């Protein structure tokens, strides 16, 4: 073996064994890291499953929710903050991805929608009850009207006297 190739082999072995120790200060979180796992769960509870829409990505088993959880874990491993991860998700999927979207012009309907529907329901109920009361308050039939109604119900076809 030549001395130059022996030195190259020794250098390569030295790099292979020393590399993990040199980068120890730049350790990335793994699945074993409880802090990173806690952050991933916390962030997953703040993001809506775009398929299920009434579940967070932490609760959902949809394929997209699994992919979003994986993206959250990858971004945590990349060293991004919670705010940066949320900003990335909203930039990619819009405010709808947030389980509690902020109050903006574009999300007013999400926030005010349930109240507006409840108000519309009360208006409809009020109108129905008012119309029923008006029908009940109408004057009862006179004796002649009752007699005519009875004849019509009995099937008589005689004409009214005027």
10-residue stretch averages of pLDDT, the chain, 162 residues long? 62 55 45 83 91 87 92 93 93 87 79 92 95 78 88 76 50
Q: Report the C-alpha gap between 45 and 38 in whole angstroms.
A: 11
Q: Answer whether 0.85 is exceeded by the pTM.
A: no
Q: How many other C-beta atoms are found inside a 10 Å radius of the C-beta of residue 97?
A: 19
Containing domain of residue 121, as a range?
107-154
Say if 25 falls within a structural domain: yes
Q: Do 82 and 124 belong to one domain?
A: no
Residue 42's pLDDT is what?
92
Residue 125's pLDDT is what?
96
Q: Report the C-alpha gap between 57 and 43 in whole angstroms.
A: 9
Residue 112's pLDDT is what?
87
Residues for the chain: how many in total? 162
Query: What is the number of domains present in the chain?
Result: 2
Residue 50's pLDDT is what?
87
């Amino acid at each position: 073996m030549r001395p130059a190739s022996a030195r190259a082999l020794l250098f390569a072995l030295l790099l292979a064994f020393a590399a993990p120790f040199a980068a120890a200060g730049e350790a990335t979180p793994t699945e074993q890291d409880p802090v990173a796992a806690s952050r991933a769960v916390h962030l997953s509870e703040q993001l809506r499953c775009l398929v299920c829409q009434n579940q967070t990505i932490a609760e959902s088993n949809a394929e997209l929710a699994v992919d979003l959880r994986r993206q959250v874990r990858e971004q945590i491993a990349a060293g991004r903050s919670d705010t940066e991860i949320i900003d990335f998700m909203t930039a990619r999927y819009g405010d709808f991805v947030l389980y509690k979207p902020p109050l903006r012009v574009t999300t007013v309907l999400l926030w005010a929608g349930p109240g507006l529907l409840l108000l519309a329901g009360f208006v409809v109920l009020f109108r129905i009850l008012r119309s029923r009361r008006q029908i009940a308050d109408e004057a009862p039939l006179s004796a002649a009207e009752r007699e005519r109604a009875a004849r019509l119900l009995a099937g008589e076809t005689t004409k009214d006297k005027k």
